[in-house]
Chain A
Amino acid sequence: KQEVTQIPAALSVPEGENLVLNCSFTDSAIYNLQWFRQDPGKGLTSLLLIQSSQREQTSGRLNASLDKSSGRSTLYIAASQPGDSATYLCATSAGSMEYGNKLVFGAGTILRVKS
């Protein structure tokens, strides 16, 4: 059974700092890995999707990497801003396309960027 762990559970940084959020998973036979952002009382917004054959994806100030063999992914946020404050969730999908995108989530990292 896949287990996803996110470290740290919470992070507080000053504005402008570069930061890294970590995600680890126990079963390396994943189909893809997705990073989400969740604002308080809101739904999940997809940030980046990394297919199992890829090693990284970039969108603006965000860069996500994937190392299947070690069961790890990182989300790098450059030049953090107060608007980045949110909970960041990592999720893996099952190991074959027939399972679609049945996601297993980590508990999330609560990020606070101080102005």
Chain B
Amino acid sequence: DAGVIQSPRHEVTEMGQEVTLRCKPISGHDYLFWYRQTMMRGLELLIYFNNNVPIDDSGMPEDRFSAKMPNASFSTLKIQPSEPRDSAVYFCASSLSTEAFFGQGTRLTVV
């Protein structure tokens, strides 16, 4: 398996624009997680899904953030409108109930 695949690897956008981050989990994994990493706050869980159903979105910072998982092989994290404070590295991870595997991340810069 190629592991967790995220796209794009880098995204630079202007404040106010919509940003969509994409994730393909490892085949067969039933959990999918979205994390955000910043120097100030470290790694924070934003939302996670079990069998494509959102279980806990308490980490989503505000209504500008939304996440979907239309099927077992694809998930998106959308920010609309984006703000400079959203600049961070966003990681997607998947697991089969135990060990979690992370993607390479998307480095988002909002200018």
Contacts and interface: CB of A to CB of B under 8 A. Distances in A.
A43 B43 contact: no
Interface residues of B, number: 24
Contact of A103 (B50, B55, B97, B100): B100
A105 B42 CA distance: 8
A103 B98 contact: no
Given A103-B33, A103-B43, 10 more contacts: A34-B99, A44-B91, A45-B102, A49-B99, A51-B98, A100-B48, A100-B95, A101-B100, A104-B45, A105-B42
B101 interface: yes
A89 B42 CA distance: 10
Interface in A18-54: 32, 34, 36, 41-46, 49, 51
Contacts, number: 58
Interface in A87-115: 89, 91, 97, 99-108
Contacts of A45: 102
Contacts of A41: 107
B86 to A, nearest CB: 19
A43 B42 contact: no
Nearest to A41: B107
A100 B43 contact: no
B42 A101 contact: no
A45 B101 CA distance: 7
Given A100-B31, A102-B56, A103-B33, A46 B42 contact: no
B43 A34 contact: no
Interface string B17-52: 000000000000011010000000011010010100
